[in-house]
Structure 1
Amino acid sequence: MANRSKIACRDPEVIMIYENEEDVLGVATIIAEQVEEYRTLPVNSKIGLIINKCKPAVILLALSSIERNIELYNQIIENKCLDYPHHSVLLCNNRESAAAFRCCLKGLFDDYFVYQPLYEKLRLKMIVHNGLQSSQTSTRYAGINDEELENIGENLSSLIDQSGECRQSLLGSISSCKEVINSPDSVEPDDVSRAILAKINKSHIEPMLADLESSIRENLDSLIGQLLAQKNGLSTFESRVAMINDMSDSNPNQRAARLQKELAEPPLRGRERILVVEDNVLYRDMLVKVLNNENFVVDVADDGLSALKKIKKNCYELILMDLFMPQLDGINTTKQIKAVTGGKSLPVIALTGNKNKELIKKWAEQGLNGYLLKPSNKTEILKAVNKVLDKKK
């Protein structure tokens, strides 16, 4: 594994238990960037003894299935190897995310993370960060400083810092008020007076502070949202101004036409029918929403076999297809398209988080018209879709 010196730490604050080393390479590298006291362990009969000796603050379980993770975790607990405060994280594939959510809801695990496919690496870092911060056994974790954070721009960074400090200051003031009110030293030791103040506190002051706290949270969240929206709008305007300034003054009519085209809203396409073949529900729903908003008619399938059945019964202008899917993957599904359409070829855009050029090349040989690296945003999706559909005209 990468960063082996960190991942083999003898006295770890974070431990990840796995079955297949190749499955957790990405996750291991991400956590090793964040936590020096980190160790990965293949599952074996000595796991409980190692945990009992090291007493890690955060434990991540990355076995082949949720059922296997639950069985191992229960066994370690029953053997009294986890009899101290800790933060447990369940790692799962996308198809088991609903079960993972249920495990956390029922209090079995503290959090879960979908690492197959691996999308949100920063969310994984936040889960580990929160686990170390909340654990009573974590003593060496220093947190994440600004130098370790990815660059998001000086203005936005400053906005986040100022708003965060403001929020913490206001909410801290409310907490201080509550402590003073509830402190036994804040009233005279008279039973009648204490009873009256307690009644007033419960019926008036506490609800008022709760409303104030809620209002502050909502107003700050709204303020941050508005400032971000204004910032994004300003960035768009500034980019367009730059574009205008770069235009030649030699042809005013051409300049005016280009400006009008740039500022105009993109026209809605026709009612082209698109099939989205993707087993990741979150990403699939995002694709459908983006395409529906642009007036496309969208059907979905969660694996290759279901896709071929739909292609056989319906007429599609374009297929957006995932690479790794249950039952039949993207490459083999693409191979079979002509067979179910009577020799007719359909444009296919590959959806993949895999950057293996040889794999993409192998898929392209079966008939690809483009590809999108996951995760992708609205602009990237529509650019790829419109490019393929425009070529069909």
Structure 2
Amino acid sequence: MDNLVNVVVFYQSIEIKKVIQEILRNKYQKILYCEINTNQDQFIKFTEDKTRPLLFIYAFEEPKEAVEFNEIIEKLNDSKNLFNKEHLSLLICCREHREAAYFECSKGRFYSYETFKPIYDMNRIRLSIAQMCDLLTSQDKVHLYEEDKKTIINKLQNVSIQLHEVETSISDEKGIQHELLNELIAEIDNLCSLEPTDSIETMNGHVSKIKPKVENFKAHNQSYFKEIGSKVKGATSSFKKKMPLVLVVDDQNVMLKIITTILKPKGFDVEVATNGAEAINKLKNCKPELVLLDIDMPVLNGIDTLKTMNKMNILDKLPVIMLTSNSDKESFIECRELGAIDYIVKPTNAETLLKKVLAVI
């Protein structure tokens, strides 16, 4: 979840910055450190990414200094609308000022606070940050669900309108069909009412009147059913479900088959590639919602593939989970620094794979 949140750290001194850097090390892909002299444009550019929620960390000796900085940021946001509601603020200050910190949090200026100096527990601060990130991603998902809900409601309303048009059309059609059939029946009655003594010319005259009416009836029916078919198709096509696409990159065909077999029954569409170069080519033509990328591959390995994806500027919107046959932490740390959000050790089981995938999609 960590890499699904962008982090901005407002700090007072180099000493405090170093403490925060140690706490956040290798945990977050996009972090911006700001102090009072930081270029405002740099902060504005960082907040342009509206695809991820923001966590603000205010690391100051005293809460009042953090409050002053927070007021500057809020005014900037009011004037330029830099970030939306999906953000939380954490205050980190000296322990002796914890009452003031609590007061500011109780007013809603900051979501929570932690203390350092003279004693600080780095793991506790890490835990608080991780919990706030989980809350942010949950809020972000709720927001997306609400947007999906609105989309579905709009689709239902459109379907209702289309079905009402079909209902109205059928009602109107009954009258038209009745009129056409009456005309046809009238001509048949005229034909049947002829006497045996009537001439052939008279009979042919009545028959010739029946044929165009039959053709007209047939043409009308064909046109009507074509029209009604289009309306029904338009209503049903609104709910054709788009399957989430996962690109799986691995040089082992057995592993590709295993992962595909696990994902497809759960409603995922799967595209496969056997090396990094093939994956890069596929990314130019398809838009997956997730990439499962093996580290050890010929032609272009996972790490080099990540570097290439970085150059293509697609990792900000495309999550990547690494596949590896060993638990080499150094390799994964490098992958995290390059933009991967998680890893799966092979061979894996269906439960682990689905848990990791569903956390992202």
Q: Given the two structures, how large is their TM-score scaled by the length of structure 1?
A: 0.30
Structure of greater relative contact order (alpha carbons < 8 Å, 6+ residues apart): 2
Q: Given the two structures, how large is their TM-score scaled by the length of structure 2?
A: 0.32
User: Larger Cα Rg: Structure 1 or Structure 2?
Assistant: 2
